[in-house]
Chains A and B, each alone.
Chain A
Amino acid sequence: MASETPALQPIRPSRRLRLLGDDQLAGLRAASLEILDEVGFHCPSEVALGIFTDHGARIDREARVVRLPPDLVLEAMSRAPRFYTMGARSAAHDIVLDGTAMYVATDGCGVATIDAVSRERRTSTERDVADMARVADHLSSVGFYWPIVSAQDHPATAPLHELRASFASTVKHVQSETVMGEPTARYAIEMARVIAGDEATLRTRPPLSLLVCAIAPLAQDRDGLESALAFAAAGLPVGFMSMATAGSTAPASIGGTIALGDAEIIAALTLIQLAYPGAPVFHSLMPGVMHPRSGAYLATTWEGEAAYAAGVEVAHHWGVPTLAGVFGTDAQVPGWEAAAAAPVALTLCALLGAETGSGMGLLDGCTVLYPEQLLLDTDIYHRVRVNLAGLDTSREALAVDVIRSVGPRGHFLAERHTSEGLRRLALSDLTEQLDAGGAYRDPLEVARERVRWILDNHHPEPLDDARDAELNRILQAAEGELA
């Protein structure tokens, strides 16, 4: 019998925050528009160049640089929907974006796995994607699933194998960040159509969405643009992410890095809206800072906290939902560093009203899967979620009558109010687990144990045989064409 997938527990902040003033947002938008109009961006896709030409953009065919007049950008972006639904295989797990809640996904596209059993580091496989989809399916913290690592045992069609593994192992929404190029996108959409069951469901409750990375500074990837266009044509949500890095691929000031990254994202979102007005899109600004000595991209710098959060407000200023960067860490092993950075970023993005975020479960600059990290990040997620809920100040909660009956110097242990209250107290699944001697256990050990327990015990509703066979048939066809 299949295991039940727990209901999602999104973060519903009781309060909201504005980080940037209207004048700051206006300044950032004016800068993006100026960059798009005067500097332009590199667009190596003939299909995309054709769409831009048809709509009056200024094209330098030789350099493949596109310049967009501000009016064209503003008009196109006005078509983008502010909210929509990201469907799931199980309707109860649909994500309805409406501005009241934040849903967080796993991280994705890691390349190495620390084996949950042998603890050895090895190249990631399709099996890892499936196993971790099952773990994610069990966790109420995970709103939707990114194939967490790359299915490197299927080189030519890895992204499609990742989708098959994901759809088969979780009933939640799946978002890919690896489907690149029109042919692969075509197969991916076909798989989504099988999961949705029919065309109408595919469009109203799309079970799959896509994230495409822009290339800083100011360049688009041909395959990325063309797969995004295919997804948009089918009604599946597409988002663009900029990872502009202050100091190397972006100016060494946070303001400039945000403006540049935003321009890259808006260039692509404009393309999608010109081609398919009203298509569901999202905006994802995850800038880094270059380490001045090594040149490395740093995800979790002190200064970066504000930049990630600012990205949320910039997205909303354009009237589109955001995918916020949360949990990404440069830490190489589970420990203090990952724990020190993640909670603030997640809290800030939730307070700013981010609709979605991603990043749970990987370490080392989003490249290495430690299965227990997903449990550790889940603990952080719930701490933030509970912290952001409000305070109950009802007469019952104020407990003045209980305080009166206990009086000065008494204790509350014998009160019924106490036993009821303590029963509701949420203790951490990881830090407050007792051993046989009554001492707290090592949370990392508890997390590793939880992963193994989930893998042994949680088997979500499988795909029915017909859909399973259909996905396999699509994969075979894809391998015939692409391998």
Chain B
Amino acid sequence: MTVDRPGLEPLRPAFRLRFLTDAQLDQLQEAALEILENVGVRFPSERCLSIFADHGARVDRETQIVRIPRDLVLRAMSTVPRYFTMAARDPAFDLALADGVTWFTNDGCGTETVDFETRELRPSRKSDVAAMARVCDYLSSMGFIWPIVSAQDHGSTAPLHEMDACWNSTVKHVQSETIMGDASCRYAVEMATVMSGSREELRRRPSFSLVVCTIAPLLQDHHGIEGALVLAEAGVPVGFLAMPTLGTTAPATLAGALAMGDAEIISGAVLLQLAYPGCPVFHSLMQAWADPRTGAYVSYPLAARVRYAPVEMAHHWGMPALAACYGTDAPEPGTWQSGVEVSLDPFWAGLTGPEIVTGIGLTNTYTRLYPESVIFDDDIYHRARHALMDLEVSPETLALDAIADVGPSGHFLAQEHTRRHMREALQRSIAHQLNERMTYRDPAEVARERVSWILDNHHPEPLEPAKQAELTRILAAADRELG
């Protein structure tokens, strides 16, 4: 038995805010151009070095450092498409990236799961990816799906198994952040071609996309960057994600860390544009801080100012942005810290208008999956979605007839207008669910119950058996070659 999946409810902010001025955006961009031209970025890949050399970048073969003249950067970036489509198994869930709408996904690549049944902490596995893809398939907050944890029961082909688990469990677009290297990416393209039906269709409506992490400071990963070239050739969207840490791998000033992370991202985007002009790319910068006493990675210090400046920087380059929300440093969900750190995120991100956003559902700085975390974060998402909505001021909502009817000191309970609007006036948060004694239930209990309910009741349309078999065949081949 299955239930109807609610339609997607992206953020459609009624108002927007620019936190950086044009002058500040120009300063940041100039700094990135200066870094690219004078400091350079290391590309440990002969293929990449040749592409750069062919297009006139200054390549030091010995140090593998590429210095890119500003004109070359600007020329390459001029072929970046401002928007593209992230397609889904069910075309009704295709995401046509556009101004004014923001789609969210869950977090990814966690390594520990609090078991759905036993509640014990254990290493994550492929079945967790599938179960959570099904939960996220149901939630209206989720525009697309990341494999939420690592399929650690599948060794070196884990990333491909994660894709298999997702494609079998959700009809929404799937984005990987773990597929690395030329060989894995070729298998991934093969699997995606099965999902899309043909290479042409994959290019037209890419059923998956990839996030590739850069390494701070100013280094590309050999496997990451070579895999990116494979996907770009197939027309699959690729995003570069820089994670500069203020004080260790980046300068201890925010502007410096942002400029350096931006240079890393842009160096990858330039490479792809030089190799495959017009290929879809996106920009993602997630700054973090080093605890000066321990060196530990801190996502949420008090001074997280202008958290979504990278979104404005991406748009200044004419690229779509993948913003980062959620990912609390708190070890468990449902605690004060897990709420306070992330609760501004979707509202704040929505104000700046990124096209896509990640991060729902993990704790302990992106490493630990409590299944109910997605429900807590989903609740915060909808609070932000409502806070960003327009207020309807019309004769019907102003309700002057009902007010005149009730007059001073009456009540509105018996009004027809109240019956008409009460349901839309209050959508109940997990914090406002009643028990039999008419007091509020523990939101954690409500959240856990909701996950169980979705898993028991929501079974998305299964993948056609022929496609399932084909994915299994490709996975087996990959396991043989790479496993």
Check if B254 sits within 8 Å of A392, measured CB to CB: yes
Q: Verify if B477 is at the interface (C-beta below 8 Å from A).
A: no
Asked if A306 meets B305 with Cβ closer than 8 Å, knowing A254-B425, A411-B217, the reply is no
Docked pose: A172 CA to B391 CA in angstroms: 36
Q: State which of A259, A347, A380, A384 has its C-beta within 8 Å of the C-beta of B400.
A: A259
Q: Verify if B421 is at the interface (C-beta below 8 Å from A).
A: yes
Give the secondary structure class of B's interface.
mixed
Q: Verify if A78 is at the interface (C-beta below 8 Å from B).
A: no
Q: Verify if A247 is at the interface (C-beta below 8 Å from B).
A: yes
Q: Verify if A453 is at the interface (C-beta below 8 Å from B).
A: no
Q: Verify if B417 is at the interface (C-beta below 8 Å from A).
A: yes
Check if B255 sits within 8 Å of A393, measured CB to CB: yes
Check if A305 sits within 8 Å of B408, measured CB to CB: no
Q: Verify if A92 is at the interface (C-beta below 8 Å from B).
A: no
**Interface mask (B216-250 → A, CB under 8 Å = 1, otherwise 0):** 01110000000000000000000000000011111
Beyond A253-B397, A425-B289, 15 additional contacts (C-beta under 8 Å) are A15-B17, A23-B393, A260-B399, A289-B425, A303-B427, A336-B335, A339-B340, A347-B348, A348-B387, A382-B302, A384-B344, A407-B218, A408-B218, A415-B251, A417-B256
A to B CB contacts below 8 Å, 25 in the list: A31-B398, A217-B407, A218-B403, A219-B408, A247-B413, A251-B402, A251-B415, A253-B398, A253-B425, A255-B392, A258-B391, A338-B336, A340-B380, A376-B340, A391-B305, A393-B20, A397-B256, A399-B251, A399-B253, A400-B34, A403-B256, A413-B248, A418-B247, A427-B298, A443-B336
Interface hit among A37-45, A80-88, A154-162: A37-45
Docked pose: A334 CA to B351 CA in angstroms: 28
Docked pose: A333 CA to B334 CA in angstroms: 12
Check if B252 sits within 8 Å of A340, measured CB to CB: no
Q: Verify if A183 is at the interface (C-beta below 8 Å from B).
A: no
Residue of B nearest to A25 (CB): B393
Docked pose: A429 CA to B301 CA in angstroms: 10
Docked pose: A425 CA to B304 CA in angstroms: 9
Q: Verify if B303 is at the interface (C-beta below 8 Å from A).
A: yes
Check if A217 sits within 8 Å of B339, measured CB to CB: no
Check if A247 sits within 8 Å of B292, measured CB to CB: no
- The residue in B304, B385, B386, B443 that gathers the most chain A C-beta atoms within 10 A of its C-beta is B386
Q: State which of A256, A391, A403 has its C-beta within 8 Å of the C-beta of B20.
A: A391
Q: State which of B292, B384, B389, B404 has its C-beta within 8 Å of the C-beta of A425.
A: B292
Q: Verify if A432 is at the interface (C-beta below 8 Å from B).
A: yes
Docked pose: A429 CA to B20 CA in angstroms: 28
Q: State which of A294, A330, A402 has its C-beta within 8 Å of the C-beta of B256.
A: A402
Docked pose: A247 CA to B425 CA in angstroms: 8
Check if A256 sits within 8 Å of B407, measured CB to CB: no
What are the residues of chain B within 8 A of A389 when measuring CB–CB? 305
Docked pose: A441 CA to B398 CA in angstroms: 49
What are the residues of chain A within 8 A of B386 when measuring CB–CB? 302-303, 305-306
Docked pose: A41 CA to B404 CA in angstroms: 11
Interface hit among B39-47, B76-84, B277-285: B39-47
B446 CB to nearest chain A CB (Å): 11
A297 CB to nearest chain B CB (Å): 11
Q: Verify if A1 is at the interface (C-beta below 8 Å from B).
A: no
Docked pose: A5 CA to B2 CA in angstroms: 61
Docked pose: A347 CA to B305 CA in angstroms: 12
- Taking residues whose C-beta sits less than 8 angstroms from the other chain, chain A's interface range is 35 or more
Check if B343 sits within 8 Å of A34, measured CB to CB: no
Check if B391 sits within 8 Å of A20, measured CB to CB: yes
Interface residues of A in 16-69 (CB under 8 A from B): 17-20, 23-24, 27-28, 31, 34-35, 38-42, 65
Q: Verify if A91 is at the interface (C-beta below 8 Å from B).
A: no
What are the residues of chain A within 8 A of B453 when measuring CB–CB? none
What are the residues of chain A within 8 A of B431 when measuring CB–CB? 300, 330-331, 337, 340
Docked pose: A291 CA to B254 CA in angstroms: 44
Check if B387 sits within 8 Å of A344, measured CB to CB: yes
Check if B399 sits within 8 Å of A255, measured CB to CB: yes
Q: Verify if B260 is at the interface (C-beta below 8 Å from A).
A: yes
Q: Verify if A310 is at the interface (C-beta below 8 Å from B).
A: yes
What are the residues of chain A within 8 A of B466 when measuring CB–CB? none
Interface hit among B24-32, B159-167, B178-186: B24-32
Check if B340 sits within 8 Å of A383, measured CB to CB: yes
Residue of A nearest to B289 (CB): A425
Check if A344 sits within 8 Å of B391, measured CB to CB: no
Check if B408 sits within 8 Å of A42, measured CB to CB: yes
**Interface mask (A242-280 → B, CB under 8 Å = 1, otherwise 0):** 000011111111111011100000000000000000000
Interface residues of A in 305-359 (CB under 8 A from B): 305-307, 309-310, 330-332, 334-345, 347-348, 351
Q: Verify if B18 is at the interface (C-beta below 8 Å from A).
A: yes
Q: Verify if B59 is at the interface (C-beta below 8 Å from A).
A: no
Check if B394 sits within 8 Å of A428, measured CB to CB: no
Check if A303 sits within 8 Å of B425, measured CB to CB: yes
Q: Verify if B1 is at the interface (C-beta below 8 Å from A).
A: no
What are the residues of chain A within 8 A of B380 when measuring CB–CB? 340
Asked if A18 meets B15 with Cβ closer than 8 Å, knowing A219-B408, A251-B403, the reply is yes
Q: Verify if B463 is at the interface (C-beta below 8 Å from A).
A: no
Interface residues of B in 257-276 (CB under 8 A from A): 259-260
Check if B253 sits within 8 Å of A417, measured CB to CB: yes
Docked pose: A65 CA to B413 CA in angstroms: 22
Docked pose: A144 CA to B374 CA in angstroms: 38
Q: State which of A294, A336, A398 has its C-beta within 8 Å of the C-beta of B334.
A: A336
Docked pose: A290 CA to B298 CA in angstroms: 40
Asked if A400 meets B305 with Cβ closer than 8 Å, knowing A420-B252, A434-B293, the reply is no
Check if B391 sits within 8 Å of A347, measured CB to CB: no
Interface hit among B96-104, B111-119, B145-153, B432-440: B432-440
Residue of A nearest to B429 (CB): A302
Check if A399 sits within 8 Å of B305, measured CB to CB: no
What are the residues of chain B within 8 A of A14 when measuring CB–CB? 19
Check if B249 sits within 8 Å of A394, measured CB to CB: no
What are the residues of chain A within 8 A of B247 when measuring CB–CB? 412-413, 418, 421-422, 425
A255 CB to nearest chain B CB (Å): 3
Q: Verify if A119 is at the interface (C-beta below 8 Å from B).
A: no
Residue of A nearest to B398 (CB): A31
Interface residues of B in 14-66 (CB under 8 A from A): 14-15, 17-20, 24, 27-28, 31, 34-35, 38-42, 65
Interface residues of B in 368-412 (CB under 8 A from A): 376, 379-380, 382-387, 389, 391-394, 396-400, 402-404, 406-412
The 9 closest A-B pairs by CB, nearest first: A421-B252, A399-B256, A339-B339, A256-B399, A255-B397, A251-B399, A399-B251, A408-B218, A305-B387
What are the residues of chain B within 8 A of A480 when measuring CB–CB? none
Check if A301 sits within 8 Å of B429, measured CB to CB: yes
**Interface mask (A208-219 → B, CB under 8 Å = 1, otherwise 0):** 000000010111
Asked if A408 meets B413 with Cβ closer than 8 Å, knowing A40-B408, A252-B420, the reply is no
Residue of B nearest to A409 (CB): B219
What are the residues of chain A within 8 A of B429 when measuring CB–CB? 300-302
B96 CB to nearest chain A CB (Å): 27
What are the residues of chain B within 8 A of A427 when measuring CB–CB? 291, 298, 301-303
Q: Verify if B144 is at the interface (C-beta below 8 Å from A).
A: no
What are the residues of chain A within 8 A of B18 when measuring CB–CB? 15
Docked pose: A418 CA to B256 CA in angstroms: 11
Q: Verify if B338 is at the interface (C-beta below 8 Å from A).
A: yes
Docked pose: A431 CA to B251 CA in angstroms: 23
Check if A218 sits within 8 Å of B344, measured CB to CB: no
Q: Verify if A115 is at the interface (C-beta below 8 Å from B).
A: no
Asked if A251 meets B412 with Cβ closer than 8 Å, knowing A217-B406, A423-B292, the reply is yes
Check if A218 sits within 8 Å of B407, measured CB to CB: yes
